[in-house]
A = this chain, B = another copy of it.
Amino acid sequence: MTSSTPHHWVITLVCADQPGIVHAVSGAIVQANGNISESQQFSSDDTGRFFMRLQVQSPATRPELEAALAPVIDRYQAMSIIDVVGRPLRTLVLASSAGHCVNDLLFRQRGGQIPVEIPLVLSNHGTLRDLVGFYGVPFESLPITDAASKANFEARVLEAVDELDIELVVLARYMQILSPELCARLSGRAINIHHSFLPGFKGANPYRQAHARGVKLIGATAHFVTGDLDEGPIIEQNVVRVDHSRTPAELISIGQDEESRTLTQAVKWFAENRVLLDGARTIIFK
């Protein structure tokens, strides 16, 4: 009952760590006539959880593969995802007026470098309409001026998530703080990007603070959105070297480059099912 051409599957599995899991999973793969082309696993000493990601070439259909894995998932009480390698993830992008992260995502999406499809960019400003339109992606802007318009914007986010079968929400320099309710609703499927410094700076205008303190490295952190906006589990970080001659404006420009590449990298890994949560931190199977 298997199809004639083998498919390329990605399987993730998370459960309590114990002996025999790999043997059980690999047995299911054998049963589905699969060959493991990529495999990574990790046992967390922190949480006692076991994490596994496989890429498998197999002629099995999805129901056949699910049937082969079902006893294993059941036995180990595992959370598991079965997906096709390269399937584009349905992604909603939230933006404000800064275009660097949006442009990087759209350019690379079009070039086939990140497996996402973007049915909508939603912004609280109209600035990016032309840029987004060039890539043939629908664009909506809904101004946020007060509590009511913000609630309206967030309602549109949730509506779009439902209507458009959204699997990932990317905050591509969306400069509004999400409500706790929206954070909760998007838990584990929303990624934010923000600048990062050594040391960290709290409060307004961090680039100016970084300049005043004379930091030698500036960078960016991509992380899951949680109620504590900039404190969610970290997915990726990058830094670049700067020196005393940089003005605050130049630091911002340099920081934007880091933001773009860090966010795009995080989205790519998430879309490839390479990002798993282990309590407050992420397991990244690169």
Contact = CB atoms under 8 A, between A and B. Distances in A.
Contacts of A215: 234, 237
A283 B22 contact: no
Given A99-B111, A234-B215, A237-B217, A29 B39 contact: no
Contacts of A43: 36-38
Interface stretch (A117-125, A182-190, A192-200): A192-200
A273 to B, nearest CB: 16
Contacts of A35: 17-19
A214 B100 CA distance: 26
A61 interface: no
Interface in A244-286: 244-245, 247, 253, 257, 261, 278-284, 286
Interface in A67-111: 99-100, 103, 107, 111
Is chain A's interface secondary structure helix, strand, loop, or mixed overall? mixed
Interface string A193-219: 000111110000000000111111101
A115 interface: no
Given A30-B20, A198-B196, A216 B244 contact: no
Contact of A219 (B198, B235, B244): B198
Interface residues of A, number: 68
Nearest to A262: B216
A212 B39 contact: no
A46 interface: yes
Nearest to A235: B216
B213 A234 contact: yes
A210 to B, nearest CB: 10
Nearest to A98: B111
A107 B113 CA distance: 18
Nearest to A18: B35
A236 B215 CA distance: 8
Given A37-B43, A216-B235, 11 more contacts: A22-B22, A22-B36, A23-B27, A38-B43, A39-B41, A100-B111, A134-B134, A212-B279, A214-B280, A215-B234, A244-B284
Closest 6 pairs (CB-CB, A-B): A214-B281, A23-B26, A22-B26, A200-B200, A196-B198, A216-B237
11 contacts: A19-B33, A22-B26, A22-B36, A22-B39, A23-B26, A38-B41, A39-B39, A42-B244, A198-B219, A214-B234, A217-B238
